[in-house]
């Protein structure tokens, strides 16, 4: 049996820390935007010339869907890879792409909340944040998704 290098172990903790960083960025920016915005309201009606902003809630849903689909697409042939290290590397790449898309959706809507004061955009940023929380990497999730066996689970 091969001896694992210290750098090969503990990837789950690093992934969870990066996940927390992505989530924390959206959450902290939303808190700052909420505290900085003085005039707030909730409406689907926009002022003259602001109707273009209503595209952003739809873009959140499209971005979340695209992130989930890209994640699945990037891992579709992971069963063909024999090496657990390469499977995990593929998962990490797909995870980063997914989280970046989710974060972009949350941050874009938070910026629009900051610009307009409309809680509608903050609500869709919260949807993006909740989606980010739901894909937190765990040992069981990664093991089941990648179909890792015992020697390879030690990489986590």
pLDDT tens digit sequence for 46-92: 766 677 888 888 999 999 999 999 999 999 988 888 887 888 889 99
d(CA 8, CA 14): 11
d(CA 53, CA 144): 40
d(CA 4, CA 69): 33
For the entire predicted model, the pTM comes to 0.85
The pLDDT of residue 156:
64
Pick from 71, 77, 67, 137: nearest CA to 105: 67
């Amino acid at each position: 049996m091969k001896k694992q290098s210290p750098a090969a172990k503990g990837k789950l903790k690093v992934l969870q820390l990066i996940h927390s960083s992505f989530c924390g960025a959206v959450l902290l920016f939303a808190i700052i935007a909420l505290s900085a915005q003085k005039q707030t309201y909730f409406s689907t009606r926009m002022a003259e010339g602001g109707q273009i902003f209503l595209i952003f809630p739809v873009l959140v849903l499209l971005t979340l869907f695209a992130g989930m689909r890209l994640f699945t697409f990037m891992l579709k042939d992971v069963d063909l890879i024999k090496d657990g290290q390469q499977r995990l590397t593929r998962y990490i790449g797909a995870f980063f792409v997914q989280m970046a898309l989710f974060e972009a959706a949350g941050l874009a809507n938070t910026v629009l909340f900051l610009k307009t004061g409309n809680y509608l955009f903050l609500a869709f940023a919260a949807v993006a944040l909740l989606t980010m929380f739901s894909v937190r990497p765990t040992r069981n999730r990664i093991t089941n998704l990648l179909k890792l066996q015992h020697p390879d689970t030690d990489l986590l």
